[in-house]
Structure 1
């Protein structure tokens, strides 16, 4: 086992990593407001759809494409595609915030040159920023396999959303742990599915989830920023 690779994955996948993920529901709060998510089973069903469609076709596929061509030109292209392919303004802003923080953390702690370049371009507003791309740059730089990197990123995202559901719905802590355990197979399936997707599939979404994320912007009372 590569201790440096293991440490980086555990570090960047830590739910305590200060990327601001705790402030975002990515649309499940809209379903809460409509009383369509009121318990763990409802949230788990929503999370499976988000993972299978949006997170696989955007985050996972973008990471895989960047691994295939880890150049600055490809990074810029994928950053632009991810931003343009996210219909909901709040989710675009969430990705920018979290992507910037992830890049700052990686650049500061690991000194990864391309992440530092990425952060500079984000700060100059030439690029938007996305956490999946910053994560992929960090894991690729240390030689972590793409499937392992995608699995870690998706697991971290699912974990963050589950903790937000524990606070927001609210769910009990043990209910949240049961959701996490139930998501292990869908996460593995998402990694496998991302390998058979093609460029044309990048950012192919689910209309219901996209619309719920847009509606959240006009929700009168809310706990989350997206």
Structure 2
């Protein structure tokens, strides 16, 4: 990867990207409220399991397919996978968060990279975040694809660790240690995601689903999911 493409990847995966990721905890707020996550070890364990079996693997795999669809000029596939991922979302909160972040990223891309306009028209609204991320990765010619997957997973990890730091609460050093400890799991997940066939696209996300549903009716909330 050239230095210029590294910078594009860093921008795309940056916590400063204005897509609203900071406002979502993906059920962690409900788990903290229920006492199921109460310390650094509990947060790390939850994120490890999500990287091994959870919905984030499915999202990243669909992102890979969006990236390939843009590269191959296969606009039908781009639309198909966007609709497929919307249908695969387990709860209203998770679907809404994916749509909101996807809409924000596509709006940003249209301002920074107007030539993606035909792709935005094909995908339409709502657009899932994984689809928008794949479009951005391909439009910015970030290669190899494995780096785009690592960026997607690292961005997800950073956002949720930041949520955990606020909710549990944890110190900033503890949060950074959790991220470092998750590096091997991020690498393993990225490697496996790149080899998944369409028939292998599944997840064991019932824990996330239950946490998300509990969060929808939680009395007080700091996060939108």
RMSD: 1.8
Change (3 A) 1:221 1:82: same
Alignment of 1:36-47 (within 5 A): 36-47=36-47
Change (3 A) 1:7 1:111: farther
Does the aligned pair in 2 maintain the 1:30–1:219 contact within 8 Å?
A: yes
Does the aligned pair in 2 maintain the 1:98–1:130 contact within 8 Å?
A: yes
**Secondary structure in structure 1 of the residue aligned to 2:54:** helix
Change (3 A) 1:57 1:156: closer
Cα distance, 1:45 vs structure 2: 0.7
The structure 1 residue matched to 2:85, chosen from 79, 82, 99, is 82
Does the aligned pair in 1 maintain the 2:98–2:128 contact within 8 Å?
A: yes
Cα distance, 1:219 vs structure 2: 1.1
Cα distance, 1:141 vs structure 2: 2.4
Alignment of 1:211-222 (within 5 A): 211-222=210-221
Normalising by the residue count of structure 1, what TM-score does the alignment of the two structures yield?
A: 0.90
Whole-angstrom CA distance in 1 between matches of 2:67 and 2:121: 21
**Secondary structure in structure 2 of the residue aligned to 1:101:** helix
Whole-angstrom CA distance in 2 between matches of 1:56 and 1:217: 20
Does the aligned pair in 2 maintain the 1:56–1:191 contact within 8 Å?
A: no
Whole-angstrom CA distance in 2 between matches of 1:2 and 1:55: 31
Larger mean CA deviation between 201-210 and 190-199 belongs to 201-210
Whole-angstrom CA distance in 2 between matches of 1:38 and 1:121: 44
Cα distance, 1:68 vs structure 2: 3.5
Does the aligned pair in 1 maintain the 2:75–2:122 contact within 8 Å?
A: no
Normalising by the residue count of structure 2, what TM-score does the alignment of the two structures yield?
A: 0.91
Per the alignment, residue 61 of structure 1 pairs with 61
Does the aligned pair in 2 maintain the 1:19–1:102 contact within 8 Å?
A: yes
Whole-angstrom CA distance in 1 between matches of 2:115 and 2:133: 11
Alignment of 1:26-41 (within 5 A): 26-41=26-41
